[in-house]
């Protein structure tokens, strides 16, 4: 089991998209009230006084859509200034990124992941649940802005959905040829979307690699990230292709992360809440730092026994919480 040193921090459960794999249409969403969200000061205190002393050095800001969070740039600056912060990253849908890419870079953000599930505006809008003016161009502008200000490499996340965007795999993979972009193909997961998830609603990463290998060839890359992706490269390409195979190839034994939700719950696993801790209530009740460290430390000891395929949700197939509520 790897050292647990990576904390994903959800800043907000709201999002300006309603992607079918994250917030499926028809899902009732009970958003966290603003006063129930962890404040910037509380996040900073937990990172500095609890997680860093326990050996955490890698942090990723997520949501919902983290660019909707007031005071985001200030929080990035404060986290980046901590001496123990080796890596500070952010995951976004990119829609608001064009104006924020430079401020985030200047504040000390090191890496950025952007969701881009289609290069076709109509398909893109279908996936994100948009029925108005297309949002593809503004999202693409955010991606180009991030590249222009110097986020290098830039990671683009693609959730491959059969019958929706699976015919674009080669076009999306081609983005890695001329630019140092890391394209990550993610198997579709049964999170809050039972009506979309049949007997097999994902495409195996093995099949995706076969398609790409037939077109260009494919070699293993010596560039590895902090996460579970198996990384490959089209020969002579500037970027890489990552494959996250959580459905076909369980990678729980390689997981080095825990998740802090926007309302302060620390969870050991994306889909398993065994042993979760309400850090917000503890913090606001005046529980001392040593006790918080002890509670988190006990959860870290428990984590090797926890995995998402043997979750405690009481269901054998799907999970009732959406990705935005869990904290992607």
Three-state SS across 81-123?
Answer: HCCCCCEEEEEECCCCHHHHHHHHHHHCCCEEEEECCCCCHHH
Q: Is residue 158 part of a domain?
A: yes
Q: What is the pLDDT of residues 2-28, one digit of tens each?
A: 899 999 999 999 999 988 777 766 666
| Pairwise CA distance, residues 293 & 302, whole Å | 14
Q: Which residues, at least 6 apart from 292, have a Cβ–Cβ distance to it below 8 Å? A: 46, 49, 50, 279, 282, 283
Q: What is the pLDDT of residues 210-219, one digit of tens each?
A: 999 999 999 9
Tokens representing 213 are 């290998």
How many domains, in total, are found in the chain?
Answer: 1
- The answer to whether residues 82 and 48 touch, using CB atoms and an 8 Å cutoff, is yes
Q: Is residue 43 part of a domain?
A: yes
Q: Is residue 169 part of a domain?
A: yes
User: Widest CA span of the chain, in angstroms?
Assistant: 59
Domain range for 56 is 6-326
Query: Taking 70 as the threshold, does the pLDDT of residue 1 lie above it?
Result: no
Q: Is residue 264 part of a domain?
A: yes
Q: Is residue 222 part of a domain?
A: yes
* Predicted confidence band of residue 312 (pLDDT cuts 50, 70, 90): very low
Query: Taking 60 as the threshold, does the pLDDT of residue 105 lie above it?
Result: yes
Tokens representing 161 are 């959905």
pLDDT at residue 135, rounded to an integer = 96
Q: Rounded to two decimals, what is the model's pTM? A: 0.91
Residue 293 sits in a domain of what CATH number? 3.20.20.70
Q: What is the pLDDT of residues 269-298, one digit of tens each?
A: 877 777 899 999 999 999 999 999 999 999
Beta-ladder partners of 91: 113
Q: Is residue 1 part of a domain?
A: no
Q: What is the pLDDT of residues 128-159, one digit of tens each?
A: 988 889 999 999 999 999 999 999 989 999 99
Q: Is residue 146 part of a domain?
A: yes
């Amino acid at each position: 089991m790897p050292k647990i040193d990576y904390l994903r921090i959800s800043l907000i459960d709201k999002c300006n998209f309603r992607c079918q794999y994250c917030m499926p249409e028809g899902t009732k969403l009970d958003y966290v009230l603003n006063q129930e969200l962890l404040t910037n000061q509380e996040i900073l205190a937990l990172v500095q006084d609890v997680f860093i002393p326990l050996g955490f050095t890698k942090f990723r800001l997520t949501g919902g859509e983290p660019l909707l969070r007031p005071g985001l740039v200030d929080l990035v600056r404060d986290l980046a200034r901590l001496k123990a912060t080796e890596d500070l990253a952010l995951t976004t849908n990119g829609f608001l990124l064009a104006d924020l890419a430079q401020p985030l870079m200047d504040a000390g953000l090191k890496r950025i992941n952007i969701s881009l599930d289609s290069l076709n505006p109509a398909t893109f809008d279908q996936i994100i649940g948009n029925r108005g003016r297309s949002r593809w161009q503004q999202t693409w502008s955010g991606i180009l802005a991030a590249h222009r200000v110097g986020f290098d490499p830039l990671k683009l996340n693609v959730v491959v959905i059969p019958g929706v965007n699976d015919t674009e795999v080669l076009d999306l993979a081609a983005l890695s040829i001329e630019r140092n972009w890391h394209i990550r193909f993610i198997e579709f997961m049964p999170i809050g979307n039972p009506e979309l998830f049949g007997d097999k609603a994902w495409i195996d990463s093995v099949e995706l690699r076969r398609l790409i290998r037939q077109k260009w060839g494919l070699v293993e890359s010596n560039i590895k990230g902090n996460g579970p992706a198996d990384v490959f490269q089209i020969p002579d390409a500037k970027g890489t292709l990552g494959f996250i195979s959580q459905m076909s190839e369980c990678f729980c034994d390689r997981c080095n992360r825990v998740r802090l939700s926007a309302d302060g719950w620390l969870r050991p696993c994306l889909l398993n809440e065994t042993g979760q801790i309400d850090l917000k209530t503890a913090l606001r009740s005046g529980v001392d730092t040593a006790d918080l460290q002890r509670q988190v430390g006990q959860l870290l000891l428990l984590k090797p026994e926890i995995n998402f395929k043997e979750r405690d949700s009481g269901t054998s197939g799907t999970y009732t919480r959406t990705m935005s509520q869990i904290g992607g």
